[in-house]
Structures are given as structure tokens and as C-alpha cells.
Structure 1
């Protein structure tokens, strides 16, 4: 039976680095779709799509993450890792106080995950770039909105301890209840 595992946490907490480590170990992983959406918008001359049209940005993310989920269902991999899940979208919209239609919460209830691993804000590794512009303080607040969103949906959240990439990856793998 397949397990769908989501890595959650505020910006710049090490999720993607651990996901890349999982990829290097030949695990099936779904990468974050927001950077792709942001880059496509920039190609069209929209510098900060989330800030200028948050609902459009979020709708594009919803479509991308829903598609990832469907792709995962079609694979025969026992483990599928996701860099963020559908509930992240409405958590961010709540953080930005953006009104959104019920479909965002409905899809989050429809597409269920088996395990949620949380990466806490970590000041030592926090960085910004063209697609990740949140300050550390903003990342801490966003993180709380993310945790609240998943808890509201009834998920049990496992916190990933700080440490080297390999240690964090091994922690996740050792926490899963299946033969690797």
C-alpha cells in the first residue's frame, strides 16, 4: 500500500534540501510547484504574482498540487514524498488574510496524506532569494498557520529535529512504518 508523505514548514526550513536528499536516494518525490508558478508569472512580466493576484496564484498552486497527487496515485511506488501539500495553500491565504472559495478547504479534505513531517523555523539556515522573500519573523508566523491548517484537518504532525541533511532524512525514513 502506498504512503503519501508531506514535508511542511515555513519558508527556508530545509524541506527542499531533504527532498533532494530523498531524490538522490531514489525515492519518488513531488517537488514544490510554487517556484514554477512564480517563474512562469515572471516570464509574463508579473514580478510577485502571489502579492498582486493571490487568488490566481493559489488557484494555480491548487491545480499543480492536485495534479501531483493524481500522478502519485498512478505510480507503484510504496512511498511518495511531497514538498508541501494542498493544505499549505489555504494556510498561506489565511496568513495573508486573502478571501478564498470553499474549494481550497474541500480539496484539502478530499486529497489525504498518510504522514506529515514538520520542519520548524531555523534561523541558522534561513535565507531569502527572488522567490523566497519572507523574513525569518514572517517565516515563524507562516509556520504557525501551516501547523494550524494541518491540525484542523486532523493530521498528526511529526517534528523533524534540526541536524544535518542526512540526519533529518534518516529521521523521516526511520519514522515511517514500512519496509524500505
Structure 2
């Protein structure tokens, strides 16, 4: 869409891998981030009794996540600093594939138009910290499949995927901030 994508940094991964905890801590350090679409849509739909839920209508859930992610992108374009994305448009494509649904042409078009920094941080499955809650109903096996789907879709779209270390949040914070501030993300791309 424009040159903004260089400052739009994605953090993705399967559920229960510490991604949002990391982003919350980075926020406490003054970095700006978006709200995860999936959790936000689930919370909104549960509040209003809607059916756009992953356990009720996966296609509708994906559509609302796609709209959420595009809106987050537009919001980030109004900012001047680095913006961390708690998932992004490509995650919706990964979700659709994971759910066994076809990816509509408009979703593929969105993934091509709404671009992010070429290095994407991904939280690998981490059984020791994995947990479920009322919004995160996936089991560990599905979290692992989600990780694989995200690696696949981001790679197909031309991004380099960088695994976050399975380490305490302070170490992950340092890992991300070092790469954002020094531009060393290019040197740490995970070998696949």
C-alpha cells in the first residue's frame, strides 16, 4: 500500500505461546501495538450473542478478523512510530486454511495489499506455558498446527519468519527490542 510497512512489525504464533504477554510487556516499555483480532472478535461476539465465533461460524469469524486487521492497519498508518501487530492480515489466511476453508480472493488480495515488515516474529508452541480459557478453546495440538500454518502462509507471502526464544518474557522483550532498534532482524531469520 505504501512505505509504512517497514515500521509495521508482526508478532504471530499459535495460541498459548506467550505472544500477547510479550506485546503487553513491550507496551509497558512504550512501544505501540494493536489488539489481537481473534480475541477481540470473540469477546465482542460473546457480549452481543453473535455467531461469528470459531466454534459457531468459522467463515464469518474470519471475515470479521480480516476487517479488524485492515482497520488496525489503517490505524497504524496514522501513527509515526513502529507499531507491533498482535497477528495481522496473513494470519486470517492461515486460519482459513487451518479450518479447512477456502481462502476467498478478497482475503488473498488483502494479504498482498496490506504489507508488513519483511521479518515476522513467531512464538513457537510452548507446552510449559500453554493454557486454555473461555476464548482460547484450542488444545496444544491445534496450537502446534496453528504455528505450522502461520509459518507456511507468511513464508508463501514472502516474509522471513523469526522464532522467538522459549524464554522468560524479559528475554523475549530484549530479543525483539534489540532487533527493532538495531535493524538486526535480517541477521536472525530462522532457518527453515
Q: Tell me the TM-score range normalised by the shorter chain.
A: over 0.9
Given the superposition, is the C-alpha separation of residues 57 and 89 from structure 1 closer, same or farther in structure 2, using an over 3 Å criterion?
same
Unmatched runs of 5 consecutive residues or more in structure 1: none
Once the two structures are superposed, what CA deviation does each residue of 1:71-113 show, in whole Å capped at 9, x if it has no partner?
1111111x11010011001101101101341111110111111
Indicate the SS of the match to 2:54: helix
Contact 1:19-1:31 within 8 A present in 2 as well: no
Q: Which whole-Å deviations, capped at 9, do the CAs of 1:23-60 have from their partners, x for residues lacking one?
A: 10011111212222112211232477122211111111
Return the match for 1:15 from 12, 19, 32.
Answer: 19
Unaligned runs of at least 5 residues, structure 2:
184-192
Task: Look up the match of 2:36.
Answer: 32
The match for 2:131 among 119, 122, 127 is 127
Give, in whole Å, the separation in 1 of the partners of 2:103 and 2:161.
25
Pick one of 87, 100, 108 that aligns with 2:90: 87
Structure 1 length normalisation: TM-score?
0.93
- Indicate whether 1:109 and 2:109 are aligned: no
| Superposition deviation, residue 162 in structure 1 | 1.0
Matched with 1:165 is 169
Residue-pair matches, total: 178
Checking the alignment, whether the CA contact within 8 Å between 2:17 and 2:124 is kept in structure 1 is: yes
1:178 Cα deviation from its structure 2 partner: 4.5
Higher relative contact order (CA 8 A, sep 6+): 1
Flag the 1:48–1:56 CA change in 2: closer, same or farther, 3 A. Answer: closer
TM-score w.r.t. length of structure 2? 0.87
Query: Quick one: structure 1 residues 41 and 11, their matched pair in 2 at CA, closer, same or farther if it must change by over 3 Å?
Result: same
Q: Distance in 2 between matches of 1:64 and 1:93?
A: 15
Tell me if structure 1 keeps the 8 A contact 2:98–2:149. Answer: yes
